[in-house]
Amino acid sequence: MSCKLVVLASGRGSNLKAIIEAIKKGKINAEITLVISNKKDAGAIKIARENGIPAKVFEPSFFESRRGYDLYLVERIKKENPDLIVLAGYMRILSDEFIEAFEGKLVNIHPSLIPSFKGLNAQKKALEYGVKYTGATVHFVTKELDNGPIIIQAVVPVLPDDTEETLSQRILSWEHRVYPQAIKWICDGRVKVEGRKVIVEGAKYGEYPTNPSLEDF
């Protein structure tokens, strides 16, 4: 039985595309039943529709409050009965009510090595701080921003002549590998969470540039 996914996205949809391609290639036993965006011009909506995936835009301006918007989304998503809700460049902070409704079923990817450089403009923050390494983190979503239990991280070097754009692209290339991998592990029932500690059963730990090591991507 395949894993049912709902994807929330606000931007160009490159991570969504990577996940769709992984499903099409049979690497992930899953089906995306719905893509939701808060922006009508999001590239993710176009990508979803090009791949025959139902896509809906719900604009926040039509709702009286952030809480009201999120409660509406909760009810809409519940109709899909998803196994996992995937945040793929979703540029809204989720309300506590939303997170409570899907606790343990929400995953996100962030372009830094959490707990460093949380929030917006993580790549810019890394450059300004002068770190020599940054990366990408796939984590479960909790009420504290970009602070949930970590599933996998990819380490990406920062080069002396990097710009925000070049660093972002280098990180993104790893996002497109670690995110589908994490989703596959979850859908295969291999991810176990104990407090803040996440273990992928049978995975290989202790090597670079990803920990645990990639298996399929």
pLDDT in tens, 157-176: 999 999 999 999 999 999 99
What is the number of other CB atoms lying within 10 angstroms of the CB of residue 52? 9
Q: What confidence score (pLDDT) does residue 1 get?
A: 84
**Confidence grade of residue 12 (pLDDT, cut at 50, 70, 90):** very high
Percent with pLDDT over 90 in the chain: 100
Q: What is the mean pLDDT of residues 93-120?
A: 97
Percent with pLDDT over 70 in the chain: 100
110 has catalytic annotation: yes
Q: Which CATH class, in words, describes the domain spanning 1-102?
A: alpha beta
Residue 214 has pLDDT above 90, yes or no: yes
Residue 40 has pLDDT above 90, yes or no: yes
Which amino acid does the sequence have at 20? I
Q: What is the mean pLDDT of residues 202-212?
A: 98
Q: What confidence score (pLDDT) does residue 107 get?
A: 98
Q: What confidence score (pLDDT) does residue 111 get?
A: 98
Q: Point out the catalytic residue in the list 110, 170, 176, 184.
A: 110
Name the segment(s) of the chain with CATH classification 3.40.50.170: 1-102, 108-217
What is the average pLDDT value for the chain, to the nearest integer?
97
CATH topology of domain 108-217: Rossmann fold (3.40.50)
Nearest Cα residue to 207 out of 167, 136, 155, 170: 155
pTM of the model: 0.97
Q: What is the mean pLDDT of residues 39-59?
A: 97
* Pair type for strands 84-87 and 30-37: unpaired
